[in-house]
Amino acid sequence: MEINQLENKVKNTIKEYQLCSKKDKIIVAISGGKDSTTALYLLKKFGYKVEALIINLMIGKWSKESLRNVKAFCKKHKIKLHIINMRKEFGLSLCHIRSNIQTKEKLNNCLICGVIKRWLLNKKTRELKATKLVTGHNLDDEAETLLMNTIKGNLKMSLTLGPKTGIVKDKKFVERIKPLYFLTNKEIKAYSKQMKFPIHYAACPCSITSLRRDVRKLIKNLEKEEPNAKMNIVENFLKILPRLKRLYKSQKELKYCKICQEPSRNEICKRCQLLKILKQ
């Protein structure tokens, strides 16, 4: 895909799904990977008010390199960067938190990491008085997650998917948007290489869950028969998503966690449930 074509595709996604406007103060959650770096670059290029936010997860060399790259990128493009330090926030690095929890409960790496990241990103973005939180999720991520949720029989989990997340609006919950929603892994990789962004292409060393790996393989195989498989999975889902959201909206209200007061669907949020296991 040509550079212009890719950029127009992102512009169209923003427009069609009304992801953000020039009035928004936008925070891009940047990991140092190709997706979030591309999202940040494009929003800045399109003239949006953007700042970047990175959580230093403190996963050894990998985190150090990501942080160095992100700092260099933001400096070059004159983007304000906010850094969250895991040790400052939780007193422990993510690796420590994870391995400790895993000695007590069988939870996978990405689940623990995801819960902690989402909690921190929402809280910090709100504290920065931003109105939108951008993540680098792409078409591959979305198709995989949709299939994973379907395989696990958990339709409700997919309610938070789509280019714009959130079923319920809440003053403590910053809307998350995904401008790269219709771009594939391959397209973003080619673009970021062409643009010579300072990024490392290796996956997170904690690796992905085995189900995601299997689903990725499955989709790759399916694409031999049906090259549009990923797009079809996602587009079909988007057709039924508004109805699903209406169906579940009244069933479960967003509350505030009794421990941390952050928005949650349960009495105690997932982050605080994890910390409880940690302290056991």
Binding site for Zn ion (CB under 5 A): 257, 259-260, 269, 272
Inter-residue contact 175 to 166 (CB < 8 Å): yes
* Nearest residue to ligand AMP, scored by beta-carbon proximity: 136
The β-bridge partners of 255 are 264
Complex with Zn ion: residue 62 or 90, whichever CB lies closer:
90
269 binds, among ligand AMP, Zn ion, none (CB under 5 to 8 A by kind): Zn ion
257 binds, among ligand AMP, Zn ion, none (CB under 5 to 8 A by kind): Zn ion
Minimum separation from the CB atom of position 92 to ligand AMP (A): 15
Inter-residue contact 167 to 160 (CB < 8 Å): yes
Complex with ligand AMP: residue 20 or 57, whichever CB lies closer:
57
Minimum separation from the CB atom of position 123 to Zn ion (A): 10
145 binds, among ligand AMP, Zn ion, none (CB under 5 to 8 A by kind): none
Q: What does the alpha-carbon distance between residue 67 and residue 278 come to, in Å, rounded to a whole number?
A: 27
Inter-residue contact 105 to 76 (CB < 8 Å): no
Complex with ligand AMP: residue 44 or 137, whichever CB lies closer:
137
Q: Are strands 175-177 and 132-134 parallel, antiparallel or unpaired?
A: parallel
Complex with ligand AMP: residue 85 or 102, whichever CB lies closer:
85
Minimum separation from the CB atom of position 110 to ligand AMP (A): 7
DSSP 8-state assignment for residue 157: G
Cα–Cα nearest to 252, from 267, 242, 238, 240:
267
Q: How much is the CA Rg of the chain, to the nearest whole Å?
A: 18
Inter-residue contact 182 to 139 (CB < 8 Å): yes
| Residue 176 neighbours by CB distance under 10 Å | 22
109 binds, among ligand AMP, Zn ion, none (CB under 5 to 8 A by kind): none
Minimum separation from the CB atom of position 209 to ligand AMP (A): 11
The dihedrals phi and psi of 182, each to the nearest 5 degrees, come to -100, 10
58 binds, among ligand AMP, Zn ion, none (CB under 5 to 8 A by kind): none
Complex with ligand AMP: residue 54 or 97, whichever CB lies closer:
54
Inter-residue contact 197 to 179 (CB < 8 Å): no
Interface positions with ligand AMP (CB under 6 A)? 29-31, 35-36, 53-55, 57, 114, 117, 135-137, 204
